[in-house]
Structure 1
Amino acid sequence: MDIAQQHGVQVASVLTELHEQQKRLGELGALGVDAQLDISVQVNWLFSSETLRRAKPQNTQQYPRFVKGISIRIDKLSSQVVKDREHIAELRSFAIGVEGLGEKQLRLPSASADLLLDFQWLLEEYRVSLFAQQLKTRSPVSAKRLAKKWSDIVDQLNVL
């Protein structure tokens, strides 16, 4: 089954809404620059061919909720710029570890690559908990849980 067949409905269902949110974000001007960059990183990851190729249907079924989270975040942004920037810094602290693996990710055994992918999905859930708590997360997530999960991943990668 190809990517379009597997994830097409979920992805297509959010594209118009996502476009609207990106326009709204652009209208915030300088106020929304940091959020715009962070949301761009998020959207690029969610819709990358690599992510979609490896995503399970239960992941892409969450796309409407992730895009709704972006909308709620933009709604709050003008009154919570400092808080938004703090959340961005916290998310970056976790994302840097994954990015630091760079090309090594491509050579990881599939079980390790799956752990990294699961960690990235957990980061998406954490975004929801930070920016749009009312949407709830699929599973419990916190900075402490992410740090523990990352520590476990690093331990496993060091064994390889």
Structure 2
Amino acid sequence: VERIGIATQEVAPLLPRMFAAYHRVRLALDSIQGTRYQAACFDINEQLDQLFVTGFLVDAPWPWLQEFPRYLEAIVYRIDKLRSGGQSRDDELLNTTTHYWNRYLQRAEEDAQLQRISPELIEYRWLVEELRVSLFAQHLGTRVKVSPQRIEKQWERV
């Protein structure tokens, strides 16, 4: 019970920033829904679904949970870039992130069926999130150094 109280005290200050950023994402996303940005909208919606999956406050490792506001700000920045004519660049970057993300989803599904939890896969998942920030909103910085090469090295550990 004491650990729950401590965890609650750590998470509580993060929530207002996280949900304010989420609200900004939703407003920005609503402004481009149904436009020529379908691929980006699909990707962003999937990203949000995976970030805010049921139980995320408990399941997301604390160091990564603290990064949620930055992940959300990166999405807003990405949408702003799309609206200002950056669709071809977004499509290019989306191809890069989709490759790594689909690989993660496939392995995560396999692990779930086997009731296996792989710390290496969890690390890989969050590196992909950091890569998104690095590619779509580089000015926000990343928690760890990330590149396609580093993600490939992490995949070898998976």
The TM-score normalised by the length of structure 2 is 0.82
Q: Does structure 2 retain, via aligned residues, the 8 Å contact 1:11–1:60? A: no
2:53 aligned partner? 48
1:93 aligns with 2:99: yes
Question: Comparing 144-153 with 114-123, which one deviates more in the overlay?
Answer: 144-153
2:19 aligned partner? 15
After superposition, the C-alpha distances for 1:8-48 in whole angstroms (9 at most, x for unaligned) are 54244322332232222222241322111111111111111
CA–CA distance in structure 1, aligned partners of residues 13 and 93 of structure 2: 31
CA–CA distance in structure 2, aligned partners of residues 105 and 51 of structure 1: 18
Whichever residue aligns with residue 56 of structure 1, its letter is P
Over aligned residue pairs, what C-alpha RMSD do you find? 2.1
Name the structure with the higher helix share: 1
State the percentage of identical aligned residues: 29
Gaps of 5+ in 1: 154-160
| SS of 2:91 mapped into structure 1 | helix
2:68 aligned partner? 63
- By how many angstroms is 1:122 displaced? 0.5
Gaps of 5+ in 2: none
The TM-score normalised by the length of structure 1 is 0.81
- By how many angstroms is 1:49 displaced? 2.5
Are residues 52 and 117 of structure 1, via their aligned partners in 2, closer, same or farther at CA, if it must alter by over 3 Å?
A: farther
| SS of 2:35 mapped into structure 1 | helix
Structure 1 runs (4+) deviating above 4 angstroms are none
Q: Does structure 2 retain, via aligned residues, the 8 Å contact 1:122–1:146? A: yes
